[in-house]
Amino acid sequence: MRVFQEADRAAGRCRLLCLKPVAEELKAAYLIAGSDRPKVDRAVARLRARFEDDAVELHDAAETTGEDAVAACNALGLFGSGDRLVVVTSTELWKADDAKAIAGYLASPTPSTVLALVAGELKKGSPLAKAVAPHGEVLVWDAPQRGLERWVAEQFKLRATPADAEACRLLVELVGTDLYELAAEVDKLATWAGGDPVTTEEVELLVAARAGAPAFVLTDAWGQRDVAAVLRASERMLERTGDPRSRTIPRVVGALTNHVGRLRAVQRLDEEGVEAKEAAVRLKLHPFYVRKLYGQARNFSVDELRGATVRLAELDHALKGGSRLANDLELERALVEITRR
């Protein structure tokens, strides 16, 4: 018996899926879905490995209806008999009528034929999931919305490669949130390490930075009045983009200008005695974000925030031809001036 195990740490549970070499012991249908595409792909690949290549029939839901999939399951195979696997991808595109057709088929499925429905993000309570569940198995793996470092750590564990938390965090920072790219980098690092631990040293050596640095890293550093962190964040924003600096620098300035405007707004509300919770309602912003703004606003005086607004306006003028200095230098000078105490 071949057993493979997928650990779903985000949900705090471990799911065991057993696929036996006897086709009759497989389910009549599998719905394999979720935003964790690398995990979905691995499950589909393992299922396909149970069948001969010429016994696997592939379809795309963009061109195949539920009734078409049923017809494919009911049709004879290439040699008229034997185990068969019918795979339909992108089934999140299907409607209620397609799910109804699948439910009708699974009430009396074709022997020795397995139907695999592959989908992207799909709720377990969807019509298609309800159609498959009574007669097959529904497997949904969603990637975490936050804390991708844990997901990366799990990928290293699946490859029997130790990796410290800081290395996982750095990998996400360098690559971004694309799961396929993260999985490919984990494969590369695990192969290179050969079972040895992966640290930040290996990540820095082997992984090319290509994820755009988020603007909040810059604004958070500025709100804490950390000059060095502000300069690092701005440089990352300039380096990790495919756009020329002539387009990226104005975006950096725009992000800071908007942030300063919000700080001035919450500073006025704070002076009036308005609490962060009420300010969030008035400003139509998330309460967590507003609490952060309140903390940052208290790091600046009223005159300092006014001065920052004026200095950013001067920087905008300089970038539009008002200075003979290089744009990078103008940006750096302005950042230092509005950040330092």
Distance of CA 115 to the CA centre of its chain: 29
Count of C-beta atoms within a 10 Å radius of residue 160:
8
Domain spans in the chain, listed from the N-terminal domain onward: 2-140, 148-206, 215-339
Distance of CA 265 to the CA centre of its chain: 32
User: In CATH, which of 1.20.272.10, 1.10.20.10, 1.10.150.530, 1.10.260.40 is domain 215-339?
Assistant: 1.20.272.10
Count of C-beta atoms within a 10 Å radius of residue 196:
11
* Calpha distance 149→65 (Å, rounded): 38
Those residues whose C-beta lies under 8 Å from the C-beta of residue 132, and which sit 6 or more positions away, are 29, 30, 31, 102, 106, 117, 138
What are the tokens at 318?
């300089």
Which sign, positive or negative, has the C-alpha torsion 89, 93, 98, 100? positive
pTM score over 0.85 = no
Confidence of residue 213 (pLDDT cuts 50, 70, 90): low
CATH 3.40.920.10 fits 148-206, yes or no: no
Mean predicted lDDT score pLDDT of the chain = 85
* Calpha distance 140→136 (Å, rounded): 13
Q: What is the pLDDT of residues 128-150, one digit of tens each?
A: 999 999 999 999 988 776 678 88
Rg of the chain on CA atoms, in Å: 27
93 touches 61 (CB < 8 A) = yes
First and final CA of the chain: distance in angstroms? 67
Task: Judge whether residue 81 has pLDDT over 80.
Answer: no
Q: What is the pLDDT of residues 224-240, one digit of tens each?
A: 999 998 998 888 778 76
CATH number of 2-140: 3.40.50.300
